[in-house]
Amino acid sequence: MTLHSLKVYVPETDYLQAERQEPTKREYLAGEVRALAGASEPHNIIVFNLGGILYNSLRGTPGRGYAVDMRVKVPQLPPYLYPDVVIVCDQPQFEDEQKDNLLNPTLREYLLVAQDRTHLEHFICQPDGQWSCRVYDQPEQTVVLLGGAVSLPLQAIYEGIFFSQEA
């Protein structure tokens, strides 16, 4: 016998009400609520390293960073996501007085960072709306964000992580 999952549509207002009361995080994608998986040790190290680099890079600028538990609503994407790290270059805007739903009206760049090997994909939205992608997979490479305002050396992102082939 094959088991099929039953998809139930959940209104956005019901999702938000429940999400604000529950200790576990779930993302909302087109009426479907999805639980988030727990994070591995390499994942946590990468997020911590990125947060440290970004914090130092943003000091003295109007930019502000948020990590892990900040729910983000981006118009171009599914309604509610939990990115590991997000940077707001302007004054942060929130959906309501709860200040738990960050509105990020302009998604210009994003990173996908592998946790099982040195591999990072940097996506940049071009003026015509198309996305370009640059892949980094060498520890000596540096990713440049926000038009040169932030430099992310891969060695620093992956510091403290030892992959099985390196052991």
DSSP state of 24: S
As a whole number of angstroms, the distance between CA 165 and CA 137 comes to 14
pLDDT at residue number 42: 94
As a whole number of angstroms, the distance between CA 66 and CA 64 comes to 7
- Residue 90 burial (CB count, 10 A): 11
As a whole number of angstroms, the distance between CA 159 and CA 153 comes to 10
Does the reported pTM lie above 0.85?
no
Query: DSSP readout, 25-49?
Result: -EEEETTEEEEPPPPPHHHHHHHHH
Quickly name the fold that domain 39-166 has: tt1808, chain A (3.90.1570)
70 close to 145: Cβ distance less than 8 angstroms: no
As a whole number of angstroms, the distance between CA 158 and CA 114 comes to 10
pLDDT at residue number 105: 60
**For residue 23, with 0-12 CB atoms within 10 Å meaning exposed, 13-18 middle and 19 or more buried, which class applies?**
exposed
pLDDT at residue number 76: 66
**Which parts of the chain have pLDDT scores under 70?**
1-6, 76-78, 105, 165-167
94 close to 101: Cβ distance less than 8 angstroms: yes
Look at residue 140 and give its three-state secondary structure. coil
